[in-house]
Amino acid sequence: MRISYSGLDSYKNCPLKYRFQYIDRIREPKSREQVFGTIVHSVLRYIHTPGPVQPSLDAALNQFSQIWNSDLYDDEIAERTAFSQGVKIISDYYAKNDPNEFTIVDLESRFAIEIGDDATGRHIIAGTIDRIDATPDGFEIIDYKTARKMPSQEKVDNDLQLSIYLRAFLARYPKETEHLDRITVSLYYLRHGVKLSSTRTREQLDNLDAQFLEVISHIEAAEFEPTLTALCDYCGFQRLCPFFKHKFLEEKTIEDDDAQTAIEEVLILRDKMKSDKSHFAELQEKLLSYMDEKQVDRVFGSSGIVGKSVRRTWKYDENTLKEILEPLDKWDEIRKINGTALKGILPVLPVSARQAIDAAKVPDKESVSLTIKKTRDLDELDETVVVEK
């Protein structure tokens, strides 16, 4: 299987979105933020492309103006704001970096490295490194970011993407494996003008395979359940997602109108449910029945969203677990056969054992609850009613 870090990240955020992107090959319109990042990356490549004379700030800003895409913006003020941000990023970059002082080894370097073995299966990780520099001490691998938020140093020290890039670099220059302490990996946050740098150990690079192989095993098992996160608001696949099915219903019926009224009432009553708990519960039951009938997990009103959340607990076959864990000397560590007891030992088990344990669990109890989110404040309410099944 061939996978990129972007694919891995997409699957971890939402397996269903991964399927739409990489299995079904459905094109997702790029967001303004994505196009903005692509334009800024292009200008930085222009700045650092080796030549007799490196481009001046004026030349870089002119390049930015030429490739700017006004069609993305319906609002003139929004476009002006974004364009000004781009100009500021490039100007600040020149203020802190002299292009003539860097020794560029490669720009937008494509790679494809192999992970796994005959037992786990052999797979390819592919991608592109923004920039590789030679430094007085060794090398620096740099990835540009146009995100508005910066991570902590701890996250950078454990960033999987940087580990992949370093593995790809070492595949290209294997002798540098003996000098890991001289190779820096960096995330350059352009909006902030801050470069966060780190190094990697041999152990971190060795653990990279396991993280990819675990995700690959889920993909090969066709596990593509949707995941509801804050990123859903920016997803281009809402029309195909079961969480947003109700939002895009084209044909309205009397039942739909009745449900729409119920949605609006629920959203209003959220702010004063203590005054009429009985009525609120009736509306919730009505919406659960409506969702079951329409086979949707979320219903949309003009002022908010009501969603259904299913929570399951699992139980394990004791004999099966004993067969798996006794050869690993882990059976005595479990006093009670449930998910909580197993959680403490799962990280140290081989992948095959974790997969066998996962296959040994069966559903125990299921509860259904409603979550409520008003469009106005985007606050989401936790469980409001639970129906045991």
* DSSP assignment string, 309-357: EEEEEEEE-HHHHHHHHGGGT-GGG-SS-SHHHHHTTGGGS-HHHHHHH
Take residue 47 and report the two structure tokens written for it. 């700045």
CA dist., res. 207 & res. 200, Å (int): 11
The DSSP string of 168-185 is HHHHHSGGGGGGGGGEEE
Q: Are residues 179 and 276 in the same domain?
A: no
Question: Residue 233: what pLDDT?
Answer: 87
Within a domain: residue 234?
no
Residues spanned by the domain of 42: 2-220
pLDDT over 70, % of the chain? 90
* Residue 386 reports pLDDT greater than 90: no
Nearest to 48 by CA among 1, 101, 6, 7: 101
Predicted confidence band of residue 339 (pLDDT cuts 50, 70, 90): low
Mark out the alpha helices in the chain (DSSP H runs): 5-13, 15-18, 32-48, 57-67, 76-96, 153-157, 160-172, 202-220, 254-269, 277-294, 318-325, 339-343, 351-360
Question: Residue 270: what pLDDT?
Answer: 75
Question: Residue 389: what pLDDT?
Answer: 44
Q: Are residues 211 and 296 in the same domain?
A: no
Q: Are residues 335 and 252 in the same domain?
A: yes
Question: What CATH code is carried by the domain that includes residue 18?
Answer: 3.90.320
Q: Are residues 302 and 191 in the same domain?
A: no
Within a domain: residue 14?
yes
* Residue 128 reports pLDDT greater than 60: yes
Tens digits of residue pLDDT in 222-256:
999 999 998 898 888 999 999 998 888 776 666 77
Within a domain: residue 380?
yes
Tens digits of residue pLDDT in 188-222:
999 999 999 999 999 999 888 888 999 999 999 99
Q: Are residues 185 and 334 in the same domain?
A: no
CA dist., res. 355 & res. 362, Å (int): 14
Single residue among 205, 220, 235 that ends a domain in this structure: 220
Q: Are residues 170 and 109 in the same domain?
A: yes
Within a domain: residue 230?
no
Q: Are residues 178 and 93 in the same domain?
A: yes
Q: Are residues 6 and 131 in the same domain?
A: yes
CA distance between the termini of the chain: 39
pTM for the structure as a whole = 0.67
Task: State the chain's mean pLDDT as an integer.
Answer: 86
Give the total number of structural domains in the chain.
2
Within a domain: residue 225?
no
* Residue 268 reports pLDDT greater than 60: yes
Within a domain: residue 24?
yes
Average pLDDT score over residue span 256-272: 79
* Residue 278 reports pLDDT greater than 80: no
Q: Are residues 362 and 215 in the same domain?
A: no
Within a domain: residue 269?
yes
Half-sphere exposure of 270 (CA within 13 A, CB side): 25
Average pLDDT score over residue span 87-114: 95
Q: Are residues 88 and 208 in the same domain?
A: yes
* Residue 384 reports pLDDT greater than 70: no
Q: Are residues 270 and 164 in the same domain?
A: no
Q: Are residues 272 and 345 in the same domain?
A: yes
